[in-house]
Amino acid sequence: MTSEPSTDTGTLFLHPDRNLAMELVRATEAAAIRAWPFIGRGDKNAADGAAVDAMRKFLGTVNFDGVIVIGEGEKDRAPMLFNGETVGNRRGPACDIAVDPIDGTSLTAAGRQNAISVIAVSDRGTMLDASSVFYMDKIVSGPAGHGVLDLERPIGDNIRALAKALGKPVGEMTVAVLDRPRHIQLIDDIRATGAGTRLMLDGDVAGGINAARYETRIDLCVGIGGSPEGITTACAIKALGGFMQARLAPGTDDEREKAKDAGLDLDAVMDANQMVKGDNSFFVATGVTDGGLVDGVRRKGPIIRTESIVLRSRSGTIRRVIAEHLVEKWLDEVPAS
């Protein structure tokens, strides 16, 4: 896909390049820093609102022509960063954008771990628009899952097959799953194999990524989570060389009709390459609270410290960005430690 040439420069930009990722980090850092004063304060809407406002302002300065395919969306009734909104200064490549200023607003409000600020980017027209269906069923692992796992198989069979591929006893397997009433039977089935569970209160993007990373204790991430989070996770999985399958899981007849009108196949089991086409996707995340993926925002005297992770599918690289920000350049809202 190509973008329109900038009227200011006359230059034709074709695809997002590696420099774009570092610009996007500024937006996730801003969202995380603005959300930080609200950690543990019990007001998830205030935290989310601050993060949304900060991310949107920074995205407006980025050299790209972005259209939000996965945004705050109808579910959050967001006035900004909504599906279909254009972002960027329109002087760069044409991109599809997935944003989640805080994946884990409830975690942030409660002061719990694993809240992150996220942006994913791919070439224009390559990111699946699944906004008409709020949820999808997914299974995610590292590279060992290729040719081994299948979303349509019983969870016990998948756990045993992956354990064999990893060369480890089933009893040493750890499976991440959202702690929701809809997963009661799934959790029982996982434990019946002898595997352990890592129950997530929220934040299944981090759960999926950790399942695909070799140095974590999570071997598999399964269950029904948000479809926006699923598409975002797919961008990261492509960069990690991991395995992912998903199927849309509408909860109402109205959602089924909307999906049908949007041309979505509710029976299709999709892999990461079908959710995000091509080999030029980016995933950027900054920690809001501490977690297994990245550390959260911290203040050290006059400095605010952030940690971010940057993944790029084309090069298959993982970069960590540690940044120190002068408090005086940022905000009056950041309290002294």
Q: Which residues are annotated as a binding site for substrate?
A: 103-105, 135, 180-182, 202-204, 226
SS3 of 142-178: the string is CHHHCCCCCCCCCHHHHHHHHHHHHCCCHHHCEEEEE
Q: Up-side HSE of residue 129: CA atoms within 13 Å toward CB?
A: 17
Indicate the annotated binding residues: 48, 72, 100, 103-105, 135, 180-182, 202-204, 226, 229
Comparing CA positions, the residue from 122, 149, 57 lying closest to residue 276 is 122
Comparing CA positions, the residue from 55, 29, 40, 52 lying closest to residue 106 is 40
In what helix (H) or strand (E) does residue 246 lie, and over which residues does it extend? strand 243-248
CA separation for the pair 142, 27 (Å, rounded): 28
Strands of 220-226's sheet, edge to edge? 196-200, 174-178, 220-226, 135-141, 243-248, 270-271
Residue spans of alpha helices (H) in 98-147: 105-110
Sign of dihedral through CA atoms 297, 113, 137, 244? positive
241: how many CB neighbours lie within 10 A of its CB? 14
Question: Reduced to 3 states, what is the DSSP secondary structure of residue 248?
Answer: strand
Distances from the Cα of 273 to the Cα of 39, 140, 151, 237, 244, angstroms: 35, 13, 15, 9, 9
Indicate the annotated binding residues for Mn(2+): 48, 72, 100, 103, 229
Contact 87, 66 (CB under 8 A): yes
- Taking each helix axis as running N to C, give the angle between helix 184-192 and helix 155-166, from 0 to 180 degrees, rounded to the nearest 10: 40
261: how many CB neighbours lie within 10 A of its CB? 9
